[in-house]
Amino acid sequence: MTGRAVWGATIGNILEFYDFGTFSFFAIQIGHAFFPAGDRPIGAILLGSYSDRAGRRSAMSASFTLMRVAVLVCTYALVRDNRNCRSAAGHFARLVQGFALGGKVGPTTAYLIEAAPAEARGHAQALVALG
C-alpha cells in the first residue's frame, strides 16, 4: 500500500466524518424538519453492492465524487438570491451527501484493510476511526 493511497483515503474519510459530525450534532432538528420516520440506508445498499462488483476503490471514489458534487451544490445554493432555488438545491445536496456517506464507510474500511500488508492491517483500519 502506498503512502499516497493511505493519506488519500484518510483525508477523504476526515472530510466526510466532519460532515457526519455536524449532522450528528443537529440530528434531532434536521430529522424533524426533513426526514420521515422510516428511512433506509439506501447509500449503503447501493454503494455496497457497487463495491462488490466494481471494487472498493471505485466505490470509494464514487462516494467522494458524490460528496464533492453535493458540497458544490450547497455552495451554489448559499450564493443564489432565489429562495426557492436555495431550498431545493440544499435539500438535494443533503440527500446526495447522506447517500454518499451511507455507502462510504464500508468500502473505505475494506479498501484500507485489503491494500495494507498483512502485518499493518490493524493500523490501516484504525485510520478510519482516527479520521
The residues near 28 (Cβ < 8 Å, ≥ 6 apart) are none
Which residue in the block uniquely carries the three cell numbers 490493524? 122
Average pLDDT over residues 99-125: 79
Q: Residue 127 has which C-alpha cell?
A: 485510520
Return the pLDDT at 80.
Answer: 64
Q: Would you state the pLDDT for residue 36?
A: 61
CB atoms within 10 A of CB 92: 15
pLDDT the model gives residue 1? 59
For residue 102, pLDDT over 70 is answered with yes
Model confidence, pTM: 0.58
Residue 73 CA to residue 75 CA, distance in Å, equals: 5
The conformation of residue 26, written as its DSSP 8-state character, comes to T
d(CA 59, CA 114): 14
In our burial notation (b when 16+ CB lie closer than 10 A, e otherwise), range 16-39 reads: bbebbeeeeeeeeeeeeeeeeeee
Q: What's the pLDDT score for residue 76?
A: 72
